[in-house]
Amino acid sequence: MVSTRALSLLLVALLFSVQVVQNKAGWGVTYTTAKICASNGSTVEMKCTYTYPAGYTVTEEFWCFENNENLKGNLDYKDRIQYNCTEKSCTMKMADLKWTDSREYRFRFITDKTEGKYTGVPGITLSITALQVEVTKIRVNESCTKAELKCKSSCTGDVSYVWLKNGKEVTEENPYITSLQFNDSICCALKGQGKYCSASLYAPKLPSVSVSPSAEIVEGSSVTLTCSSDANPAANYTWYKEGGQTPLSITKQLSFPSIQSSDSGVYNCTAQNELGIRKSKHLLINVKYAPKLPSVSVSPSAEIVEGSSVTLTCSSDANPAANYTWYKEGLFLAWAPDGVHHFTSISPENRGNYSCKSENQYGQINSSPVFINVQYPPKLPSVSVSPSAEIVEGRSVTLTCSSDANPAANYTWYKEDEPLPVGPEGVHHFTSISSEDRGNYFCKSENQYGQINSSPVFINVQYAPKLPSVSVSPSAEIVEGSSVTLTCSSDANPAANYTWYKEDEDSAKASGHNFIIDKFSPAHSGAYQCKVQNKLGFHSLTFLLAVVRLSGNDTEMWKVIAGTAIAILLVVVLIWILFSIWKKEIPRKLPEPTKSPGTSAQKQPVEQNCNLHYASIQFSKKQTDPLYSNIKSKKHKEEEENKIQYAAVKVASVSVAPSNRNQETEEDPATLYSSINKALQKYMNQN
């Protein structure tokens, strides 16, 4: 049902829309409207009726401009207009209106008589307008936007509009208050031309983002990000990088003249107009670039001990992910796609500098070296002796112990399990080595991880013979005519050779440790010499073997005489020593036979002083007549270099059977002393 107010308005509209053109009697054109306002691209209809006097017949009817030419003859209109003319009425339908179509249009008809032509002036004025939705008030919420909208055009007069929301007419109110969702669009149109709506007004649609170039993005290249969104009014754009609150750019395009690896990440943009704001989906920018300087880590990071598990890890920022190669001291060690090199049980041989190489198709780079310091207990020590040739007494000798250990080992030297002083770096030094230093030596190497002993090394100190000693066998009473063995011994290394000499004889009596006298008799009395010699030198001992034959049985008297003789001998020796010191002369050794083997020994580099010993001879009473003698040598401590050692001579009486006592020749004690004294004087004169 149409309301009374609506009918009244329609009637007024019709009255104002009818234009009657009547210029002469009986002739006229009546237009349904004087003005038409239409939207660009729309279609309009222009209608009219006409009259003419009786007696005329209409032969042609058309619409035209001021020049009265048929519009169908105009190329710009002939395909866009259609005529629908009947008896005394005609309608022109014009489609796809353009801005240039804004002008006055007239209807003209021609009859069969020359004067029977008529054009309805003024005609219908067509105005082409652009409709625009104006936002007069707005309030943007998160869920929707409430706005007051007004439709505007260039049309004059009383113009009616219609509002379309999402393509459907909703109201003719102007202005129009409505709530808009993100996906809503709204437009206005001239009433009756709803399909020729104004540009729709709507909040930005979901923005789309793109990257150029769309292929791989390589560090250093130029890259542009573009954000676009369908919106009316047009949207403004803002770029963000994920995690950042500050806008990167308030432009539609975000440009990187020389993109870097640090620019990799997730980007998005927002599109905003006065009706709302929308956020784009994420855009991942993946810059492809060569590896950065690798970092190397060692696990465990504390001390690395032999046998433990150790892991080396190489990591490098690269896109695409890098492949890794491990090197030790610059030499290839292993491929490690994941950058990890593992030692299940690390050993001292693994100690050294390690580095890794990181590479992809865009380049490669080596890490800085890292030193792996494998700590371990000492290995079996090695022992060296300097000099390495023969070791001679008195020379300087150095023992050195060395062992592979980390941290460095401490050393202790031992001789036959007894610790010795240790010098720096495991060195033990003999300034002047002696024969007492001969023996087995070894060293101990130790640190906080363990200890180990070296194999023993034997130090063989070589030395010239020491002062020899002489012994007589048998040590009991020696019977004249029996065998007597003299034994000479001396400490020497290498072992010494022994040679026996008797004064006033050119050749050696014997060689070897022992000198055997067969059928011992008083004729064997005299000075004897035992000479010991090796390649380092020689030493000799001279002793006096005196055999005296006695008679009588006054044993006690002869003991007194023997004691007196010993005392006299000691006095003589003391006087001789004092005399030698005073003269500061070194006594010569007994002369040796020129052709004896001992002669060459005098040329040895080391020569010791000769020492004189006397053997003690004891005579005791026997029931038989043969001579019994007791020879006993005593080894004395080595005196100062210039001394001669003497042995005591003890004389005991020789008893005979009582029936034969008066027949024996009894010697005077003075005669015995004289005999001994002459022997001593002779020996001293020779020396």
The pLDDT assigned to 599 comes to 35
Higher local confidence (pLDDT), 382 or 584: 382
- If asked whether residues 84 and 109 sit together in one domain, one would say yes
pLDDT digits (tens, 9 = 90+) for 629-640: 333 333 333 333
pLDDT of 268-304, one tens digit each?
A: 999 988 888 888 888 888 888 999 999 999 999 889 9
Cα–Cα distance measured from residue 591 to residue 593, given in angstroms and rounded to the nearest whole number: 7
Residue 343, pLDDT > 90, answer yes
Residues 389-440 pLDDT 10s: 889 999 999 999 999 999 999 999 999 989 987 766 789 999 999 989 999 9
Q: CA 31, CA 229: separation in Å to the nearest integer?
A: 47
User: Pick the residue with more confidence: 164 or 580?
Assistant: 164
pLDDT tens by residue, 292-338? 999 999 999 889 999 999 999 999 999 889 999 999 999 999 999 89
The answer to whether residue 636 sits within a structural domain is yes
In a domain, 515, yes or no: yes
Residues 176 and 241 grouped into a single domain: no
Determine, yes or no, domain membership for 31: yes
Radius of gyration of the chain, Cα coordinates, nearest whole angstrom: 73
- For Cα atoms 65, 156, 170, give the angle at the middle one, nearest 5 degrees: 115
Q: Distance (Å, rounded) from C-alpha 18 to C-alpha 11?
A: 11
Closest CA to 592 of 531, 506, 526, 515: 506
Q: Are residues 675 and 598 in the same domain?
A: yes
The answer, yes or no, to whether residue 530 has pLDDT greater than 50, is yes
Together in a domain, 145 and 177: yes
Kindly report the CATH number assigned to the domain that includes residue 36: 2.60.40.10
4 lies in some domain: no
What are the two backbone dihedrals, phi and then psi, of residue 207, each rounded to the nearest 5 degrees? Answer: -65, 145
pLDDT of residue 7: 33
For 265, other C-beta atoms within 10 Å of its C-beta total: 15
- DSSP character at residue 320: S
Does 222 have pLDDT greater than 80? yes
Whether 621 and 681 share a structural domain: yes
456 and 414, same structural domain?
yes
In this structure, the answer to whether residues 363 and 435 fall within a common structural domain is no
The tens digit of pLDDT for each residue in 181-213 reads 777 888 888 888 777 787 777 888 889 999 998
Mean per-residue pLDDT for 245-264?
89
Question: Is residue 599 domain-shared with residue 500, that is, in the same domain?
Answer: yes
Q: pLDDT digit string (tens) for 532-564?
A: 999 989 999 998 876 655 444 545 554 555 567
Is 6 among the domain residues?
no
Question: What is the distance of C-alpha 327 from the center of its chain?
Answer: 10
* Helix/strand/coil percent split, the chain, to 5: 15, 45, 45
Confidence of residue 352 (pLDDT cuts 50, 70, 90): very high
Residues 480-510 have pLDDT tens digits of 888 889 999 999 999 999 999 988 888 888 9
What pLDDT, on the 0 to 100 scale, is given for residue 140? 72
pLDDT of residue 678: 54
More confident residue, 456 or 389: 456
- Same domain for 597 and 666? yes
Q: Is the pLDDT of residue 592 over 50?
A: no
Listed range (143-147, 590-594, 623-627) with the worst mean pLDDT: 623-627
pLDDT digits (tens, 9 = 90+) for 17-69: 445 555 578 899 999 999 988 888 888 999 999 999 988 999 999 999 999 99
Number of domains forming the structure of the chain: 6
What is this structure's pTM? Answer: 0.48
Q: How far apart are CA 241 and CA 108, in angstroms?
A: 69
| Strands 607-614 and 537-545, sheet pairing | parallel
Give me the residues paired with residue 499 across strands: 511, 531
Q: Is 622 helix (H, G, I), strand (E, B) or coil?
A: coil
Q: Give the pLDDT score at 563.
A: 66
- Whole-number pLDDT of residue 415: 92
Nearest Cα neighbor of 324 from 365, 367, 359, 371 is 359
Q: What is the mean pLDDT of the chain?
A: 78
Percent of the residues in the chain that have a pLDDT greater than 70, as a whole number: 77
Sign of CA dihedral 449, 450, 455, 459: positive
pLDDT at 587 (0 to 100): 43
Backbone angles phi, psi at 571, to 5 degrees: -65, -45
Last residue of a domain, one of 375, 397, 427: 375
Evaluate whether residue 203 is within a structural domain.
no
Closest CA to 180 of 126, 140, 131, 232: 140
Final residue of a domain: which of 235, 270, 288? 288
pLDDT of residue 19: 53
Say which residue, 117 or 1, is predicted with more confidence: 117
pLDDT at 598 over 70: no
Residues in Cβ contact with 107 at an 8 Å cutoff, skipping those fewer than 6 apart = 29, 31, 46, 48, 50, 61, 62, 63, 64, 90, 92, 119, 120, 123
**In 3D, which of 400, 398, 365 has the Cα closest to residue 381?**
400
pLDDT, position 30? 95
Q: 């000691």: which residue's tokens? A: 570
Question: Would you say residue 201 lies in a domain?
Answer: no
In terms of domains, do 447 and 592 share one? no
Same domain flag for 113 and 85: yes
Task: Give 155's contacts (C-beta < 8 A, 6+ positions apart).
Answer: 37, 127, 129, 190
Look at residue 606 in the predicted model and tell me its pLDDT. Answer: 39
Last residue of one domain, picked from the residues 444, 462, 480 = 462
Of the CA atoms within 13 Å of residue 260, those in its CB half-sphere come to 2
Interatomic CA distance for residues 679 and 310, integer angstroms: 91
DSSP H stretches of helix in 554-651: 555-583, 598-601
Residue 169 lies in a domain: yes
pLDDT at 175 over 70: yes
226 and 136 within one domain:
no
Cβ–Cβ under 8 Å, residues 120 and 106: yes
pLDDT of 113 > 50? The answer is yes
Residue 448 has pLDDT above 80, yes or no: yes
Determine the pLDDT at residue 23: 55
CB atoms within 10 A of CB 26: 12
| Tokens encoding 390 | 């023969």
User: Which residue segment(s) compose the domain that 490 sits in?
Assistant: 469-686
pLDDT score, position 142: 60
The secondary element (H helix, E strand) that includes residue 415 is: strand 410-415
